[in-house]
Amino acid sequence: MDKVFILICGTVGLVITWAVIPYLRRLVLREGVSARQFHHGHKTVISRLGGVAIVAGFVAVVCIVLPFYHNHLDHDLPLILGALATFGLGFWDDLKPVGAKKKLFGQILIASAVYFMGLKIETFKNPINDYVWQLGSLSYFATVIWLVTLTNLINLIDGIDGLAGGISLMMMALLIYVSLQDHTIVLFLAVGMLGSLLGFLYYNFPPAKIYMGDGGAYFLGFLVGAMTIHTSQKGAVAAALIAPIFALALPIIDVAIAIARRGLKGLPIFRPDRKHIHHRLVDFGFSRVRTVLTLYAMSLIFLLLAFGILWSHGKWLPILFGGMCMILLLAAGSMQFTRDWFAVGRVLGNSLDMRKETRYVLVLAQWLQMEAERCDSIENLWADYKFVLKKIGFCQARLILSTGEKNWQSSLRLQEEEMLHSHHALHIGEISGLDLKAHQSVMDPQLFELMSELAAEAFMKAARKWEEIHELPIHFDSKVSAEILKSRLKRARAYLPA
């Protein structure tokens, strides 16, 4: 009976998610719910509503399982409600950007609610000598930090098609193994989510037809964190909490270095960038498919190490930890990532100056977005942007359009061979790209890389703000200005007395 029930849960999760996604894809084209594309690099609009399909599969499995586990509802409800609330927070951000601080506050609030509902880390057993620590008052902080960390971890690695979904699928396989003997609700939910993720990856594997969005990523991250706490309460405290850390070793290290890198540069720690491992592999010459498969292979190795933790009840922890470190170093060296992974030390030396420059550019970017609300035409916004480029220290810019290009050059005449150059794909309205140049005497290559990325992102955000305010597509045409004036006159007449 249990085997049949497990098969039903997996099948329901797979079928529901697989069937819902085509409807969501049609919805994005009909209603215009689009993706934020600056860091994903796709030229077409791709829905960020994939998380809705994953959660639909989850809810369907919950409806099947709960009638058989209603006696344990008070124990299982925090996991279910917390996961759904976290999805709601991320889904809200998918529809309308909320802001990193508000999202973090919401995550802490949800994790706190789950803790007071009874899902908590109360003890931790040393796997070496079997000594059990009672966390006491630290239980709250351990639980909240664990849940919030895993919630954001999946979201931060969701930068290339299929990666977050594939790693989440491996985590569900690990959770199935952990809960296989006890047959708790986690077993059936994990099986259902494994099926759901298979259905999602059918559409998300490169080239992606849909993204899971923040809603899906937050949901999966919280679910993994809550499930590990749930299984740890059944006795395997050390193994259930340590094994996921091993299985997620690759994204944990990547995200930790990314946070350190952003912090040293004065950037918001949750700001997306193109410095993650998957971006480096693409820049190294790998295709998107080969990049994802390479990272799947490495994650599978770490998943096997996690199973080793479980099989040994944590006794092999020192040996497996040494093996994990050796694998990471060998992989980083063979793929020429060692220089990038340990660049944090070099950044530290000039971080003070870089942080000042970063803050200055971020302030200019905010000013440009405010100006986007006041500009009558995109031409005026481009004029304001040229002022921003000059203030930052760039000497040339080329905006690539579907109908031609817009060029700007400072009054200084500099030799081309002494220029630093960067290209950024924007894909907004008739704009397809932006080229920026600066002289080596003004910026060193490391500073130029950061400044050009911030400058390109500033124009993209300002242009989208202009589109949102004026409800018109980006187009360098005088007719657009005339449409704006007509729209303003129409709104003004609405306030005049009859």
Task: Please write the tens of the pLDDT for every residue from 353-386.
Answer: 678 888 899 999 999 999 998 888 888 899 999 9
Structure tokens at 367: 């000013």
User: Are residues 226 and 122 part of one domain?
Assistant: yes
User: Are residues 168 and 29 part of one domain?
Assistant: yes
Dihedrals phi, psi of 461, to nearest 5 degrees: -65, -40
User: How high does pLDDT run on average in the chain?
Assistant: 81
Q: DSSP letter for 417, please.
A: G
For the chain, the domain total comes to: 2
Report which of 295, 253, 254 is spatially closest to residue 273, judged by C-alpha positions: 254
Q: Where are the alpha helices (DSSP H) in 138-184?
A: 138-156, 163-178
User: Are residues 369 and 306 part of one domain?
Assistant: no
- pLDDT for the residue numbered 479: 55
User: Are residues 425 and 319 part of one domain?
Assistant: no
pLDDT tens digits along 11-23 = 999 999 999 999 8
Residue 495 lies in a domain: no
User: Are residues 424 and 392 part of one domain?
Assistant: yes
Residue found by looking up tokens 């708790």 in the block? 184
- pLDDT for the residue numbered 24: 87
Residue 26 lies in a domain: yes
Element counts in the chain: helices (H) and strands (E): 19, 6
Q: Which amino acid is at 17?
A: T
- Number of neighbours of residue 498 by Cβ within 10 angstroms: 2
Q: Please state, in angstroms and rounded to a whole number, the distance separating the CA atoms of residues 169 and 192.
A: 11
- pLDDT for the residue numbered 39: 45
Residue 104 lies in a domain: yes
| Residue finishing a domain among 284, 313, 346 | 346
Query: Which residues fall within 8 angstroms of residue 9, CB to CB, at 6 or more apart?
Result: 61, 64, 65, 188, 189, 191, 192, 195
Residue 192 lies in a domain: yes
- pLDDT for the residue numbered 497: 55
- pLDDT for the residue numbered 278: 76
Residue 407 lies in a domain: yes
- pLDDT for the residue numbered 495: 52
Q: Is 263 exposed, middle or buried (0-12, 13-18, 19+ CB in 10 A)?
A: middle
What range defines the domain where residue 328 resides?
A: 2-346
Residue 244 lies in a domain: yes
- pLDDT for the residue numbered 236: 46
- Number of neighbours of residue 210 by Cβ within 10 angstroms: 25
CA angle 69, 74, 79 (to 5 degrees): 85
List of the chain residues with pLDDT < 50: 1, 34-35, 37-40, 235-237
User: Are residues 210 and 129 part of one domain?
Assistant: yes
Q: Please state, in angstroms and rounded to a whole number, the distance separating the CA atoms of residues 295 and 248.
A: 11
Q: Please state, in angstroms and rounded to a whole number, the distance separating the CA atoms of residues 146 and 248.
A: 13
- pLDDT for the residue numbered 467: 85
Sign of CA pseudo-dihedral 258, 263, 269, 273? negative
Residue 496 lies in a domain: no
Rg over CA atoms, the chain? 25
Report which of 361, 380, 363 is spatially closest to residue 372, judged by C-alpha positions: 380
Beta bridge partners of 319: none
- Output the domain CATH number for residue 392: 3.30.450
User: Are residues 319 and 446 part of one domain?
Assistant: no
Structure tokens at 249: 């070793």
Contact, 360 vs 458, CB < 8 A? Answer: no
User: Are residues 384 and 307 part of one domain?
Assistant: no
Q: DSSP letter for 206, please.
A: S
User: Are residues 420 and 303 part of one domain?
Assistant: no
- pLDDT for the residue numbered 356: 83
Residue 498 lies in a domain: no
Q: DSSP letter for 274, please.
A: S
Contact, 70 vs 98, CB < 8 A? Answer: no
| Residue finishing a domain among 299, 331, 346 | 346
- pLDDT for the residue numbered 288: 83
- pLDDT for the residue numbered 38: 44
Sign of CA pseudo-dihedral 258, 263, 268, 273? negative
User: Are residues 446 and 298 part of one domain?
Assistant: no
User: Are residues 144 and 280 part of one domain?
Assistant: yes
User: Are residues 114 and 218 part of one domain?
Assistant: yes
| Residue finishing a domain among 346, 373, 399 | 346
